[in-house]
Amino acid sequence: MTRHLTEDMISQWVDRELDSRQAAKVEAHLKGCETCQAVEKEMSALGRLYRTEEALEPPPYLWTRIAAQIREESREEKRAFFGIGWLLPRAGLQQPAWMRISVWAPAAVLLVVISSTIAIMHYQAAARAQSAAIAEIDRAHSALTALNTKTYNPFHESTAMDTGANPFAQSPLRDQPNPFRNPQDRP
């Protein structure tokens, strides 16, 4: 026997990782070399020693714990976004992490919906009041115009002293008799 096998090669032989040509070469060498046989035995024994304890079984409650967690997550997904979160995995899509925040996400949506509804209702009420005011002004304008087309000037800026601006006056006050004066007291 000329040279011993390298431990690297024996390691690969033990793991059955050599190709058939190399494996045949190692096998032939091992048959006639006690030194390499001893190394091979030790290397093989390592795996056997650890595998002897490979009978470790995970405890039965481990699956129970995993299954309970899956069911809990599944329930949360169903709640998330009113069922959309539950549909995603079934459509072959991965549920984004933010959707798993199933408590906050629907609450946020609800908040947006409520505040939007209030804002829209407020806007609609303001619009209705504005329309009613404009209609009332139009109605008053039409009525006053019809009452006195000559004296009524909607563009005239009236003052307290400006009796002429009184759209209800039939004529200027100076032309009317003073109701507080005795007609016989005329100067």
Partner 1 sequence: MSDDSKLHRLVEEGKRGEIAAYHAIYKEFGARIFNFLFRVLSSREDAEDVTQQTFLIVFRQLGTLRDPTQLESWIYRIARNEVYQRFRKKKVGSLDDEEINGDVRGLEEHSLYAQPEKLLLNEELRQVLQAVLDGLPVKLREVFVLAAVQGMSYQAITEVVGRSLLSVKTDIYRARLQVKEELRKYLGEGFGSTVKAETK
Q: Which amino acid is at 24?
A: A
| Interacting residue with partner 1 among 3, 21, 31, 90 (CB under 8 A) | 90
Is residue 96 a contact point for partner 1 (CB under 8 A)?
Answer: no
Minimum distance of partner 1 from residue 53's CB (angstroms): 6
CA dist 97 and 151 (Å) reads: 76
Number of shown-chain residues binding partner 1 (CB under 8 A): 44
Is residue 63 a contact point for partner 1 (CB under 8 A)?
Answer: yes
- CB 106 within 8 Å of CB 82: yes
CA dist 122 and 58 (Å) reads: 63
Q: Which is nearer to partner 1, 16 or 21 (CB)?
A: 16
Is residue 31 a contact point for partner 1 (CB under 8 A)?
Answer: no
| Interacting residue with partner 1 among 27, 47, 83, 123 (CB under 8 A) | 47
- CB 85 within 8 Å of CB 100: yes
- CB 167 within 8 Å of CB 144: yes
CA dist 53 and 22 (Å) reads: 31
The token duo for 90 is 């079934």
Minimum distance of partner 1 from residue 26's CB (angstroms): 14
Query: DSSP class of residue 157?
Result: -
Is residue 139 a contact point for partner 1 (CB under 8 A)?
Answer: no
Q: Which is nearer to partner 1, 15 or 138 (CB)?
A: 15
Is residue 17 a contact point for partner 1 (CB under 8 A)?
Answer: yes
Q: Which is nearer to partner 1, 35 or 145 (CB)?
A: 35
- CB 141 within 8 Å of CB 152: no
Q: Which residues bind partner 1 (CB under 8 A)?
A: 7-8, 11-12, 14-15, 17, 38-54, 56-59, 62-63, 65-67, 69-71, 73-74, 89-90, 92-95
